[in-house]
Structures are given as structure tokens and as C-alpha cells.
């Protein structure tokens, strides 16, 4: 480990420990990819979920990327196995609560947790409205218990029919400002197009929700351009393949659209061949707003501290650049000024104290939008 010395450190610390101490923001974390392995085993035993084994280590290859060849569709298959664990209201509330608790343990102060009501409801035929309210309640409770401000993003899977997607969207619209802060389009971007969701995406902004679209992960730079120009995305989930087209990179910079970068996940889905070739540094050099996130902490066996460490040690991001990344995250959050302004003031003070670096001053409210 690299040691960090300085007047703010007090003593020599490993780089990982220093990064763990920093307050963090995670804008791209899937609830369905955040289940603890211990919880899986306990839920399975308590509710009779049929599994090949109840031993955590035996379960690991089914729900976590281990030593298999990186592959986008193989990554998505992990979620199919996880669906059987949404067996009761108690199980869903527990998973949502623990997702926030685990973020808090990693010193994440602001979290946007996305989830698919259709996925949570499907296994047992739960009502979409009820299952959404269970998640909202659990996250609110965890936020009070652990001091994490959490906004929920409702995910619509591309694989849904137009009618199913509309039902999910209206669940989100009905709860705009009451726990739900954004709408997300995710899933198999290779085989399912955005066109069926055009009207839903237009309405999301009218309902006051932020809009993030998974693009430029399994498909090329064109999908990022499409998400921004045709569908009005405020943020792009992943978006790393935008680097393939300089005009798309310039579009992102000019439009101020934020990329939600998840380095470990990008390796596991074969979006990037290896970390030394990750375009994160290139985006920073081109003044594209990028953030660093976990995506699916359990599936990728990672934390946000781990992702920061990878960014610094493997990708070559400097500590001041890491400060810019967290600044981008606060600017791009689907939260109001009453959240963003005090959040940045607290982050700026702690980051400068721990790292002995200068970060941007808090700007006028309109500059934080």
C-alpha cells in the first residue's frame, strides 16, 4: 500500500485507509446488486428458497463475479439468480435497509440507490406500489439510523413491455419528491431499444424526476449520443464507450451531462479490457463531468473505497482529481439545493483536512444545478 504523509494525516496511513476516511457520494448503486451473501443464506433458510447450497462460499459463484471470463450478459445473469430472494416483505425491507447500512460503513454520506419494482415484485407477484413503498420505508429508516441521505431511483428494465414500463413509471411519478428522485433505464442495451420508452422519459422531467440512462456500456458511443440528444438524459450510467467518438465526448462536455463511472463493473462486463485502458482520466482531461460509483457492490465484491483506490493506483487519477470527481457527484445529484449546499460544505472541509488539498469553493445555487 502507498503511504500518505502530511500535516493532516497525523500519522502514516495506507492510501486505502485514507480514502476510507473520506466522505463519499455514490450515484450509481443497484439495490438488487447489493445483497449481502450472509443475508442470502439466512433468507433462503428462513423462507425455504431452493438453493444448490446454503454455504456462503458455495453460493458465491452464483451471485458474485469470481474467476470467470468477463462478459456483459453473464454479468446480467447474476441478477436472475438473485430474484428468488425477494420472497417476502421482510426480506425486501431487510435488503434495502442493509444496502444503506453498508454504504454508511464505507462513509458514503449521500447515496442514490436504484431499484426495479418490477423485479422485486415479480417472484411472488407483489403489488408494484406496495413493494416500492417497502423500499422507501426501509431506506428512510436506515437513513435515520446511519445518517445517510438517500434518494431512490426507480429502474425500468429495457426488457419490459411498453405497458409494463408505463405502470412502473407511474409508480415513480406518484412518489416524486417522496423518496423517489429519479428514473433509470437499464438492462440489456444490446437487444432492447429505448424507443418504446420515449413518452415515459419525456414525462419524467415534467414530473420533477432526474433521468439517467444506461448507455455506452455494451453498445457504442452512438448510444450515449442518442440518450442525450433524443431522450434527454441528465446522466449516463457508465457511458465509457463515449470515448470512441470525440464528437460524443465534446457533446457530453458541452451539455454538462455526467457519466456514472463504475471501474470494477466495467472490467466485469468486458466494457473495458483492463484498468490501464480505462477512459476515466481521458474524460477528466476533456472536462467531462465524471463520477466514481460501485454499481453492484455484492456482485463485484467491491466498496466505494475500493473503487477510489483503483482510480488512483490503477487508472492514475490524482487525489485533487478525485476531489473534482466528488464535486461532480454533488453537482449531478438528483437533490435540491437544501441538500447540495451543506453537503458540499461538509465534504470540502473534510477532504481538505484529510488530504491537505484545495477543492472548489461552494458556488452560487445555480452553479450547483
C-alpha cell at 348: 470540502
The sign of the torsion formed by the CA atoms of 2, 5, 6, 12 equals positive
Distance CA 207, CA 87 (A): 31
Residue 108 CB: number of other CB atoms within 10 A? Answer: 23
> pTM for the whole thing?
0.90
**Rounded average pLDDT over 315-332:** 95
The share of the chain scoring above pLDDT 70, in percent, equals: 87
DSSP assignments along 129-183, one per residue: HHHHHHHHHHHHHHHHHHT-EEEEEEEEETTS-HHHHHHHHHHHHHTBTTTEEEE
Give me the CATH number covering residue 31: 3.20.20.140
Question: Picking from 40-44, 301-305, 332-336, which range would have the lowest pLDDT averaged per residue?
Answer: 40-44
Which residues are bridge partners to 111 per DSSP? Answer: 26, 150
CA distances to 20, 103, 268, 326, 364 from 106, in Å = 6, 5, 22, 15, 30
Residue 199 belongs to a domain: yes
Beta strands in the chain (DSSP E): 3-4, 13-14, 24-30, 108-115, 149-157, 180-186, 210-215, 235-238, 258-261, 290-292
CB 223 within 8 A of CB 189: yes
**Rounded average pLDDT over 131-144:** 97
| pLDDT value of position 110 | 98
| pLDDT value of position 35 | 85
3-class DSSP assignment, residue 4: strand
Burial 138-174 (b: 16+ CB within 10 A, else e): bbbebbeebebbbbbbbbbbbebeeeebbebbebbbe
Query: pLDDT tens, 196-214?
Result: 999 999 999 999 999 999 9
Residue 186 belongs to a domain: yes
Do β-strands 149-157 and 108-115 pair in parallel, antiparallel, or remain unpaired? parallel
| pLDDT value of position 368 | 44
Q: Count structural domains, the chain.
A: 1
Residue 48: pLDDT band with limits 50, 70, 90: low
> Of residues 93, 112, 189, 217, which has the active-site annotation?
217
Q: Residue 1: pLDDT above 50?
A: no
Distance CA 219, CA 186 (A): 13
Distance CA 275, CA 359 (A): 26
Which residues are bridge partners to 152 per DSSP? Answer: 113, 180
Q: Residue 10: pLDDT above 60?
A: no
Q: Residue 104: pLDDT above 70?
A: yes
| pLDDT value of position 198 | 95
Query: pLDDT tens, 222-241?
Result: 999 999 999 999 999 999 99
| pLDDT value of position 47 | 67
Name the burial class of residue 275, with classes exposed (0-12), middle (13-18) and buried (19+) by CB atoms within 10 angstroms of its CB.
middle
C-alpha cell at 134: 417497502
| pLDDT value of position 313 | 95
Residue 319 belongs to a domain: yes
Residue 366 belongs to a domain: no
Residue 228 belongs to a domain: yes
- Print the domain residue range for 351: 24-358
- Would residue 217 show up in a list of annotated catalytic residues for this protein? yes
Residue 79: pLDDT band with limits 50, 70, 90: low
More confident position, 84 or 180:
180
Question: Picking from 44-48, 176-180, 215-219, which range would have the lowest pLDDT averaged per residue?
Answer: 44-48
Residue 12 belongs to a domain: no
Residue 19 belongs to a domain: no
Query: pLDDT tens, 242-291?
Result: 999 999 999 999 999 999 999 999 998 888 989 999 999 999 999 999 99
The share of the chain scoring above pLDDT 90, in percent, equals: 71
**Rounded average pLDDT over 82-86:** 73
Residue 138 belongs to a domain: yes
| pLDDT value of position 363 | 46
Amino acid at each position: 500500500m502507498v503511504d500518505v504523509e502530511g500535516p493532516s494525516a497525523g500519522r502514516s496511513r495506507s492510501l486505502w485507509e485514507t480514502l476510507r476516511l473520506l466522505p463519499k457520494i455514490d450515484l450509481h448503486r443497484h439495490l438488487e446488486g447489493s445483497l449481502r451473501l450472509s443475508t442470502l443464506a439466512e433468507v433462503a433458510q428462513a423462507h425455504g428458497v431452493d438453493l444448490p447450497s446454503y454455504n456462503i462460499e458455495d453460493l458465491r459463484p452464483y451471485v458474485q463475479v469470481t474467476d470467470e471470463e468477463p462478459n456483459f450478459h453473464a454479468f446480467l445473469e447474476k441478477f436472475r439468480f438473485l430474484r428468488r430472494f425477494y420472497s417476502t416483505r421482510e426480506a425486501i425491507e431487510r435488503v434495502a435497509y442493509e444496502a444503506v447500512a453498508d454504504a454508511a460503513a464505507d462513509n458514503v454520506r449521500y447515496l442514490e440507490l436504484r431499484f426495479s419494482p418490477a423485479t422485486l415484485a415479480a417472484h411472488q407477484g407483489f403489488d408494484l406500489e406496495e413493494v416500492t413503498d417497502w423500499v422507501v420505508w426501509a431506506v428512510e429508516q436506515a437513513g435515520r439510523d446511519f445518517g445517510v441521505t438517500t434518494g431512490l431511483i426507480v429502474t425500468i428494465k429495457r426488457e419490459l413491455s411498453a405497458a409494463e414500463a408505463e405502470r412502473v413509471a407511474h409508480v415513480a411519478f406518484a412518489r416524486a419528491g417522496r423518496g423517489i428522485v429519479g428514473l433509470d433505464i437499464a438492462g440489456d442495451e444490446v437487444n432492447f431499444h429505448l424507443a418504446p420508452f420515449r413518452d415515459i422519459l419525456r414525462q419524467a422531467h415534467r414530473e420533477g424526476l432526474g433521468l439517467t440512462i444506461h448507455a455506452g456500456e455494451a453498445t457504442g458511443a452512438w448510444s450515449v449520443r442518442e440518450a442525450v440528444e433524443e431522450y434527454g438524459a441528465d446522466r449516463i450510467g457508465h457511458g465509457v464507450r463515449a470515448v470512441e467518438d470525440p464528437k460524443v465526448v465534446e457533446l457530453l462536455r458541452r451539455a454538462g451531462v455526467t457519466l456514472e463511472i463504475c471501474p470494477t463493473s466495467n472490467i466485469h462486463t468486458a466494457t473495458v479490457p483492463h484498468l490501464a485502458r480505462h477512459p476515466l482520466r481521458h474524460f477528466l482531461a476533456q472536462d467531462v463531468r465524471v463520477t466514481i460509483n460501485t454499481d453492484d457492490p455484492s456482485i463485484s465484491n467491491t466498496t466505494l473505497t475500493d473503487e477510489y483506490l483503483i482510480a488512483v493506483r490503477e487508472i492514475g487519477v490524482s487525489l485533487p482529481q478525485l476531489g473534482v470527481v466528488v464535486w461532480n457527484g454533488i453537482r449531478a445529484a438528483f437533490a435540491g439545493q437544501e441538500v447540495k449546499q451543506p453537503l458540499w460544505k461538509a465534504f470540502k472541509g473534510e477532504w481538505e483536512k484529510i488530504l491537505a488539498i484545495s477543492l472548489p469553493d461552494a458556488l452560487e445555487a445555480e452553479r450547483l444545478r
